[in-house]
Amino acid sequence: GDIVIVKPGEKISVDGTVIEGGAYVNQAAITGESIPVDKEIGDKVFSGTIIESGYIKINADKVGEDTTFSRILQMVEEAQDKKAKTQKFLETFSRYYTPAIIILAVLLFLFTKDLVLSLTLLVIACPGALVISTPVSIVAGIGNGAKHGVLIKGGEIMEEMGKVKVLAFDKTGTLTEGKPKVNKVKAFGIDKDELLKLTAIGETYSEHPLAKAIIFEAEEKFGTISEIPEESEIVTGQGLKFKFKGKYYLIGNRKLLFDNGIIINENQEKYVKSEEEHGQTVILVSDLEKILGAISIADTIREDAKELIVDLKHQGIKKVVMLTGDNKRAAAAISKELGIDEYYSELLPEEKVGKLKELQAKFGPTAMVGDGVNDAPALASADLGIAIGGAGTDVAMETADVVLMSDEIKKLSYAIGLSRATVRNIKQNIYFAIIVAAGLIAGVLGKVVFLSSGMLIHELSVLLVIINAVRLLGYGEKRRNKKQFTVV
């Protein structure tokens, strides 16, 4: 029942209902939406979201541990408690292997009365190479990852990543940059550059993220724009009206133009719908007589995202899906452009967790790649959580099992490749160590391997296991050196 006033740039601290004012709220931390949502009287707002522009009074419905943000953190903790399955094999093995060898040595002495043979078996059968086969490979793999900006939180995680069959991506800030950008300027009856500059002048006093994208695009093209509107009036939820050189103009959505008697003809409406179907947010510009043009704005797809999807499929990832809180049209457009197998749109954090469970049941080991607080429950619930560090939040990075320290998403392909190489290396070491151990035991029992020669072979096998693992430190170096040579 408390009344909370929130101003531009401030974070909303409660879940509640807007009772006064209006604002554009960045809900990326909760829903993953890249474009701020217009909130008016009667609309619900969530804790952890940030006001980009405007101001609102909120009647608090939920506070403290009951808020959406707190529930997300609670879900993360619960999901983390459910984890812990792998890398128990060696512990179990050693628990039974050592007593078995002792018993075998005792039985051998009782049957043969040969003390030297029994002691030789006891010494030679020590599983030195087998015991270090996994940890030495994992240490080398983790060291290589750290050197290349990929933080892998332990051996269990390394093994899990090597077995992943499905990768689920969040969209905003992961496959995209999380920053709205002007993609197209369409003019009707005037010059495109004139339209862009006029719109940038009109948006001078606006704090809306889409306005900032337009101004940025104009200044990139024309340099600093010193001209300002003579008058400017923000129309909440619709756009703005401004006066420049004695003439009034409108910038905003369809409703703003309709309310001012501006007609959008069939061809213009067809163009706008076409842009929206491609995941664009379309800003309309007009004077008080006719529409002058449309500016398409969307979150920019990361440059290396398409290449990444191709690389992942080559590495044996069976299915790549996208889970996002964004609208269906934007999700469909990006999914098609990147070649993603499936997409699920308009998902809340708990719904992402549900989708991940479906994928795990259907396809097997599943990894989630994300960057925001809204991804945290999904990162924790997946078999493997991967956070994009450069653009990520503290919560996502704490929750994730693997962290890409920079925002270069292409390093995910490197991390998957490294993990698979590490798992192969571990298997090579284990198979080699078992064959050597079995051969030595057979040799001792057959009286063709003695204590000195057996110890030599045993120590050499340990050394070979270490050398094989050290090869992982060079993983990726050839490709890296080749790239540097090409640049030079």
Instruction: List, by residue number, the catalytic residues.
Output: 170
Residue 448's SS3 state is coil
25: part of which helix (H) or strand (E)? strand 15-26
Residue 303's SS3 state is coil
- Tokens encoding 163: 């077995």
- Secondary structure (DSSP) of 152-219: E--HHHHHHHHH--EEEEEIIIIIEEEEEEEEEEEESSS-HHHHHHHHHHHTTT---HHHHHHHHHHH
Nearest to 125 by CA among 431, 449, 467, 426: 449
Looking up tokens 């690389």 gives 311
- Secondary structure (DSSP) of 313-372: HHTT--EEEEE-SS-HHHHHHHHHHHT-SEEE-S--HHHHHHHHHHHHHHHSSEEEEE-S
Q: In angstroms, rounded to a whole number, what is the distance separating the alpha carbons of residues 446 and 25?
A: 78
Q: In angstroms, rounded to a whole number, what is the distance separating the alpha carbons of residues 168 and 396?
A: 15
Looking up tokens 């939040």 gives 393
Contact 59, 43 (CB under 8 A): no
